[in-house]
Amino acid sequence: MQALAAASKTVDCLKLVHSFHCYFLLVGDFDMPIIYQVHRVRDGNSFATRRVDAVQKGNIVFTLLASFQKEQKGFEHQQTTMPSVTPPERLLSLEETRERRIIDPRLPRSYRNKVATSEFIPWPIEMRFCDPNNSTNQTKSPPSLRYWFRAKGKLSDDQALHRCVVAFSSDLLFSTVSLNPHRKKGFRSSSLSLDHSMWFHRSFRADDWLLFVIVSPIAYNGRGFVTGEIFNRKGELVVTVTQEALLRTPKTPNSNTATVSKL
């Protein structure tokens, strides 16, 4: 999100990001500042291209290539359709879901106690799951996930901001869907994003409900691949997303093999 925001600030305000592709090169340090270096690759009448390098401790840990375009009329069609799901107003929020789990007598007492004593930090993004069994990492489930999301609070009318917010939101649970079929009791995993790409098809508001439909068609060779479609309330496809992540089982403390600290 920060890299896209940095790139957007260097582009003509009439041009909006229509696609970006990014690669996560090194594991970053949460305790160290990151410098975003924006390179002006091209400025045309209709399109502009920017490359952003995220630098930490002198190393490029992340790079993004983004393309911006002036909005214009053209051919239109939409082949994909939004699935029929429960509207967000009839679904539980994360806070309500947590409260239900604490008092649900059908759940083991040990699990309810764990939920009650775990620190709950509200996210800046409100999420409501259409598939209740997929809203937790406690059970094995299909390699798919559908949920509504929106920014908490009212945003300005700056479309660049709305696209940055959705870029941030898209990576919160995205790659973990490829782990769903492999979950079981005592399951532990380690994952790192390798790349992330987004295509913005239409303008939208990130503070209105958007439906995120995620599918993981394959996991192989230590990598999980996911695709996502984001729809507005009208059923219009507004964003398409893809990501690949490194998926591994954490090494045991007695293992002679060191855990992965860099790719």
Residues annotated as catalytic are 171, 193, 243
Sheet containing 35-43: which strands, arranged edge to edge? 35-43, 47-56, 59-70, 15-24, 190-200, 237-248, 223-231, 210-220, 144-151, 125-129
CA dist., res. 254 & res. 182, Å (int): 24
152 near 124, Cβ under 8 Å?
Answer: yes
Q: How does 5-38 read in b/e, with b if 16+ C-beta sit within 10 Å?
A: bbbbeebeeebbbbebebbbbeeeeeeeeeebeb
Q: Please say whether the beta carbons of 211 and 82 come within 8 A.
A: yes
d(CA 176, CA 183): 11
Residue 146 CB-half CA count within 13 A: 13
Nearest to 176 by CA among 132, 226, 101: 226
